[in-house]
Amino acid sequence: MRAEAEAHARTVEQAVGLLRRFLDWDRAQRRLEELNARAEDPALWNDPRAAQAVMRERRKLEEALTATRTLEDELRNTVELIELAEAEGDSELEAEGVEALARLAARAEQEKVEALLSGEADANNAFIEINAGAGGTESQDWAEMLFRMYQRWAERRGFRTELIDSHPGEQAGIKSATLLVKGEGAYGWAKTESGVHRLVRISPFDANARRHTSFASVWVYPEIDDSIEIEINEKDLRIDTYRSSGAGGQHVNTTDSAVRITHLPTGIVVASQSERSQHKNRATAFKMLRARLYEAELQRREAEANAQNAAKTDIGWGHQIRSYVLQPYQLVKDLRTGVTSTSPHEVLDGALDPFIAAALAQRVTGERVEVEDVD
């Protein structure tokens, strides 16, 4: 086959391999047989809620297995068509086969991403929390650049955003901010962005035009509804109120309407100042705290399930995931997957999907990519 066809075929093969691994193919087939048997049992509907859960799982699993088999069958048939066309010297039929293979490769990539977004909370809205690192104005300006990047990314994907909390820097930028991204699959798409992001550039705040390195942390967690029970003891909380502040430190409220809640056992801190009412801000902060605790539970389950997977380490301040270099050259490099872009300004304008898709895939493959550090 011509090189173009071979490249498309490899794309489909890799997607199918990842889907099989994600599904745990043999286990998935056995599970589907169990669900089919339960679905045929009339007694199942004695508990309508449990029956609906079984039918949902069955449908979801059946669709995933069928989609993967269909990709495999279409790949085999299309490759055979191209090989037959080559053998008979039919260039027109061969070209049609290559086009069909290109469409199949695009579909396989889409199927792969959709499968990777099928986690327990992946369909939910997402909170994106950004905190400037040490370094004063430099890091605070970088934190604001990241905040804008996620706003632009959300717009590109058709998500809506809502500012929940923001603390401006003394001279420029922000010390911290929390953005709520609303839309189907927002958390599934954004969850791999948690970690430390590093910026290297000639500082606009340095009169000597020296190169600076700045850090900011990003934490992503899902918004959850009231159907998910998270136990919170009041004695484990410290609740503080303060005045909401806007850009430049201007007070947007003359009362202590903003609310900050600290969960003492875990050290988790959440805050809300988006509402003028302290009562509403308190309700929002509690919702954020429940979401953070739920996300921590999801992380714990994932860590247990992948205890031997080196790629599934806990994300913390010391875990750098991506570097953005603006000077002396231009490069964005993801230090987990090796994905790069030579257009950092486009990335900072929200072009994050290639980085996110690769990071989602890595959660399944567990493969770490060794890359040189970006200075």
The whole-number average pLDDT for the span 236-264 is 73
Provide CB contacts within 8 A for 120, sequence distance 6+.
298
Report whether pLDDT(371) > 90. no
96 plus 149 within the same structural domain: no
Report whether pLDDT(12) > 90. yes
String of DSSP letters for 251-262: BS-SS--EEEEE
The alpha carbons of the chain give a radius of gyration, in whole angstroms, of 24
Q: Do residues 121 and 203 touch, judged by C-beta distance below 8 A? A: no
**pLDDT bucket at 149, cuts 50 / 70 / 90:** very high
Residue 288 resides in a domain = yes
**Three-state secondary-structure class, residue 185:** coil
**What share of the chain in percent tops pLDDT 70?**
88
Per-residue pLDDT at 309: 38
Per-residue pLDDT at 303: 67
Domain region containing 80: 3-116
Per-residue pLDDT at 367: 58
Give 68 or 229, the one with higher predicted confidence. Answer: 68
Longest dimension (CA), the chain: 82
Q: Does residue 328 have a cis peptide bond before it, meaning omega lies within 30 degrees of 0?
A: yes
- Nearest-angstrom CA–CA distance, 60 and 58: 6
Per-residue pLDDT at 235: 87
Q: What are the helix (H) ranges across the chain?
A: 3-23, 25-39, 48-88, 91-116, 137-156, 186-190, 278-305, 344-347, 353-365
Residue 121 resides in a domain = no
| CATH assignment at residue 202 | 3.30.70.1660
Give the pLDDT confidence of 317-327 residue by residue, as tens digits: 457 899 999 98
152 plus 291 within the same structural domain: yes
Residue 78 resides in a domain = yes
161 plus 278 within the same structural domain: yes
79 plus 201 within the same structural domain: no
The whole-number average pLDDT for the span 12-29 is 90
Residue 373 resides in a domain = no
104 plus 178 within the same structural domain: no
Chain position carrying tokens 């953070």 = 292
131 plus 55 within the same structural domain: no
Whole-model pTM over 0.75: no
Average pLDDT, the chain: 85
103 plus 183 within the same structural domain: no
Residue 69 resides in a domain = yes
51 plus 147 within the same structural domain: no
232 plus 345 within the same structural domain: yes
Give the pLDDT confidence of 328-370 residue by residue, as tens digits: 899 999 999 999 999 999 999 999 999 998 998 887 776 554 4
Provide CB contacts within 8 A for 369, sequence distance 6+.
336, 337, 338, 362
Q: Do residues 296 and 347 touch, judged by C-beta distance below 8 A? A: no
Give the pLDDT confidence of 157-186 residue by residue, as tens digits: 999 999 998 999 888 999 999 999 999 889
For 97-125, b/e burial (b = at least 16 CB within 10 A) is: bbebbbebbebbeebbbebbbebebbebb
Please return the burial class of 39, using the count of CB atoms within 10 Å of its CB with bins 0-12, 13-18 and 19+.
middle
For 253-262, b/e burial (b = at least 16 CB within 10 A) is: beeebbbbbb
Q: Which of 67-81, 247-261, 292-306 has the highest mean pLDDT?
A: 67-81
Per-residue pLDDT at 249: 43
Report whether pLDDT(252) > 70. no
- Among residues 225, 214, 144, the alpha carbon closest in space to that of 179 is found at 144
Report whether pLDDT(311) > 60. no
197 plus 292 within the same structural domain: yes
Per-residue pLDDT at 226: 62
Give the pLDDT confidence of 188-233 residue by residue, as tens digits: 999 999 999 999 999 888 778 788 899 999 999 888 866 566 778 8
88 plus 167 within the same structural domain: no
Residue 7 resides in a domain = yes
Residue 328 resides in a domain = yes
Q: Give the full edge-to-edge strand order of the sheet including 268-272.
A: 237-242, 258-263, 268-272
Which of 87, 116, 145 is the endpoint of a domain? Answer: 116
Per-residue pLDDT at 232: 83
| CATH assignment at residue 34 | 1.20.58.410
Per-residue pLDDT at 31: 92
Which of 67, 98, 116 is the endpoint of a domain? Answer: 116
How many folded domains does the chain comprise?
A: 2
342 plus 236 within the same structural domain: yes
Residue 272 resides in a domain = yes
Per-residue pLDDT at 313: 37
Which of 75, 91, 116 is the endpoint of a domain? Answer: 116
The whole-number average pLDDT for the span 235-242 is 88
- Among residues 117, 71, 126, 30, the alpha carbon closest in space to that of 364 is found at 117
Give 305 or 287, the one with higher predicted confidence. Answer: 287
